[in-house]
Amino acid sequence: MHIDAERLAKAVAKDEARRAARWQMRFRLGWAALLSMLAAFVFLSLNVEIDFIARATPFIVEGIWITLAVSSASIVLATLLAAIGALGRLSSNAVVNALASFYVSFFRGTPLILQLLVWYLALPQVGIILDPIFCAIGALGMNYGAYMTEIFRAGIQAVPLGQREAAAALGMSGSTAFRRIIAPQAFRIIVPAIGNDFVAMLKDSALASTVALHEIVWRARNIGQKEFKTLQTFIIAAMIYWTLTIVFTAVQNRIESRLAAGDRNKAVKG
C-alpha cells in the first residue's frame, strides 16, 4: 500500500514533467515557425541583394550608438524630473503641487512628436537653437519624466501608512522618515518601472529621426530612399530594434531577479 502510493506519486510527477517539457517544445516550435515564415516572406517577396545589404547594414547599425546615447541620457533626465515631480505631487504646498501637476498634465496631454518638433523647429523662432541631439534628449526626457512622475508617486504612496506612523512615533521628522524609511522601500517598487521605460524609450527615440538625428531609423530611411529599397532597410532597422529590445529586456530581468535575490540572500545570510 505504502509502496504503491510512492510509485503513484513518482509516476504523477514524471507525467507532469513530461507535459511541461512538451509544452516548452511546442512553444519554441511555434516561435521558430513564425520566424521562418517572416524570413520566407522577406526572401520571396524581395530580390535579396546581398551586396546592398552588406553595404546598408553597417551604415544603419552605426546608428545604435546614437540611439543608445539618446535613450540613456533621456532616461537619466526623466528619472531626475520624475523624482522632483513626485515630491512636488506629494507636497503639502499648494503652489509646488500645482507646478508638478501642471507639468505632468501638459507633457502627458500633448503628442511626443509635437513636443520634439517644438524643441527643434519652434524654439529657434524665439532665438533658442539647440543641437538635434539635445532636442531629442530634452523632448524625450521631459515627456517620459511626466509619465514617470506618476509612477514614482504611486511607488512612494504604495509604502504602507504604518511605516510612516512607526517612523513618526519614533520621533523622526518628515524628511528623515522619507530619506531613511519611505524612499528605500519605494525604490524597490520603482526600479522595474524605470527598466520598462528604458526599453520603451529605445523605440521612441526613433522619433528623433524627424529632427535629422542620424540614429537607426534616419539611416535606414536615408540609404533606403536613395536606391528605392526602403523595405529592405526598414526590415534591417526593425531587426536591430528587436534585438536591442530582447537584449535589454533580458538585462532588465536579470537586474530584477538580482534585486529580489538580494533581499532573499540578505535574509538568509543573517
Partner 1 sequence: MKQLSTTPAVHALHPAEKPGVLVKPGAEPVLKATNITKWFGENHVLRGASITVWPGETVCILGRSGSGKSTFLRSLNFLEDPTDGTVEIDGVIVGADPFHKEGSERQDRIREVRMRAGMVFQEFNLFPHLSVIENCVEAPIHVKGIPRKEAEAIAEKYLAKVGLLEKRDEYPSRLSGGQRQRVAIARALTMQPKVLLFDEPTSALDPTLVGEVLKVMADLAHEGRTMIVVTHEMDFAHEAADRVYYMDQGEFAEVGPPEQVIDAPKDPRTKEFLSRFRTLGAKK
Q: Which of 24, 36, 110, 163 binds partner 1 (CB under 8 A)?
A: 163
Q: Which of 29, 46, 166, 212 binds partner 1 (CB under 8 A)?
A: 166
Report residue 162 as a C-alpha cell: 504604518
Task: Report 74-93 residues binding partner 1 (CB under 8 A).
Answer: 92
Q: Which of 17, 76, 122, 170 binds partner 1 (CB under 8 A)?
A: 170
**Is residue 176 involved in binding partner 1 (CB under 8 A)?**
yes
Beta carbons of 82 and 107 less than 8 angstroms apart: no
Q: What single DSSP character describes residue 46? A: S
Nearer to partner 1, 3 or 95 (CB): 95
Work out how close the CB of 9 gets to partner 1 at its nearest, in angstroms, rounded to a whole number: 30
What distances in angstroms separate CA 19 from CA 6, 15, 23, 238, 262, one per listed residue? 20, 6, 6, 35, 32
Report residue 232 as a C-alpha cell: 529592405
What distances in angstroms separate CA 141 from CA 60, 72, 74, 80, 155, one per listed residue? 24, 10, 4, 9, 20
Q: Which of 184, 238, 257, 261 binds partner 1 (CB under 8 A)?
A: 184
Work out how close the CB of 167 gets to partner 1 at its nearest, in angstroms, rounded to a whole number: 8
DSSP string, 189-257: HHHHHHHHHHHHHHHHGGGGGGGT--SHHHHHHHHHHHTT-HHHHHHHHHHHHHHHHHHHHHHHHHHHH
Beta carbons of 136 and 206 less than 8 angstroms apart: no
**Is residue 94 involved in binding partner 1 (CB under 8 A)?**
no
Work out how close the CB of 174 gets to partner 1 at its nearest, in angstroms, rounded to a whole number: 9
| Contacting residues for 245 by C-beta, under 8 A, at least 6 apart | 199, 202, 203
Nearer to partner 1, 167 or 244 (CB): 167
**Is residue 156 involved in binding partner 1 (CB under 8 A)?**
no
| Contacting residues for 181 by C-beta, under 8 A, at least 6 apart | 159, 163, 164, 166, 167, 172
What residue type is 109 in one-letter code?
G
Nearer to partner 1, 97 or 230 (CB): 97
Tell me the number of residues near partner 1 by CB under 8 A.
24
**Is residue 189 involved in binding partner 1 (CB under 8 A)?**
no
* Pattern 110-149, partner 1, x by CB under 8 A: ----------------------------------------
Other Cβ atoms within 10 Å of 141 Cβ, number:
24
The piece of 36-44, 83-91, 123-131, 180-188 that touches partner 1 (CB under 8 A) is 180-188
Task: Report 198-257 residues binding partner 1 (CB under 8 A).
Answer: none
Work out how close the CB of 204 gets to partner 1 at its nearest, in angstroms, rounded to a whole number: 33
- Binding residues for partner 1, rule: CB under 8 A, are 92, 160, 162-163, 165-173, 176, 180-181, 184-185, 188, 263, 266-267, 269-270
